[in-house]
Amino acid sequence: MRSTNNHVRYQGKTVLVTGASSGIGAAFARELASRGMHLILVARSVDRLNTLAAELGERHCTQVTVLPADLSAEHAAANVYAEVARRGLHVDMLINNAGFANHGNFEAISTVRDHQQIMVNVAALVELTHLFVPAMLDAGGGAVINIASTVAFQPVPFMAVYGASKAFVTSFSAALAQEYRSRGLRVLALCPGATATGFFDVVGTDAIALGRKRSPEQVVSSGLRALERGRSVVIDGPVNTLVAVVAKRLPFGLAARLAARITLVDAVELAAPKGGHR
């Protein structure tokens, strides 16, 4: 995907979207299909992927490839890459959207569950970026959009691993954006706040949502606009931007105490931590 100045070419290019079966991932797939991109859709839910693929293939006459994968599993990212290569596909844009949160007292969350969270939110994201970026550079450029979160900008009690994982994604993306700025590769950390997806339904509480939820389509619009402008980090929505700016200016300890008031739910809910996928 070559880009010149602020122009990003979509027509006829191919995008790989993880976590594509619903929410922000599905919204990215729909918007980019409407811009003429071919799609490689990755998620755990085969039925949802196939339904989305049929919808977009028929509506936009675009090529849609479905690759079911659980990115929390060892070697899942490498297997996705190998299957893409086996099919002779070239990825011009990578959207690392898959992710989930565990919510509750840290000691009550299983080690296995937090390991899975790190695998999806961090390890798979880094590995997929490692695997697909070299071919983008060889082709003269491309784009990587990593879905972070507004929780990247302060410690998040009761979601400690999730917040830390999104802080990693934001720092990682900003660093790569600078590395590749002169080589035609755009890298963006897109940081949504509360979004109207299935994320909170699976977590089991809306108590951790701050403010009015934005729509997945609004998040996608913010991300693509920022990508076209050459941004390395963007926060979706003016209220989310204000909250993140204030949080970044607070002492770490105070920011954590304020965040705890939002993420703390009653003891019954905390005793049975749940996970939410994006």
Q: Give the model confidence (pLDDT) of 87-122 as tens digits.
A: 999 999 999 999 999 999 999 999 999 999 999 999
Distance CA 105, CA 114 (A): 12
CA distances from 213 to 174, 194, 196 (A): 26, 5, 6
Judged against a pLDDT cut of 50, whether residue 5 lies above it is answered with no
Q: Quick check: helix, strand or coil at residue 110?
A: coil
* 228 C-beta neighbours (distance < 10 Å), count: 17
Comparison of pLDDT for 147 and 2, the residue scoring more: 147
Residues 234 and 226: beta-carbon distance below 8 Å: yes
Distance CA 5, CA 146 (A): 21
Comparison of pLDDT for 157 and 272, the residue scoring more: 157
Distance CA 96, CA 44 (A): 14
Domain annotation for the chain: domains and CATH numbers: 3-277 (3.40.50.720)
Q: Identify residue 254 by its one-letter amino acid code.
A: L
Predicted confidence band of residue 273 (pLDDT cuts 50, 70, 90): very low
Does the annotation count 162 as an active-site position? yes
Q: One of 10, 81, 162, 180 is an active-site residue; which one?
A: 162
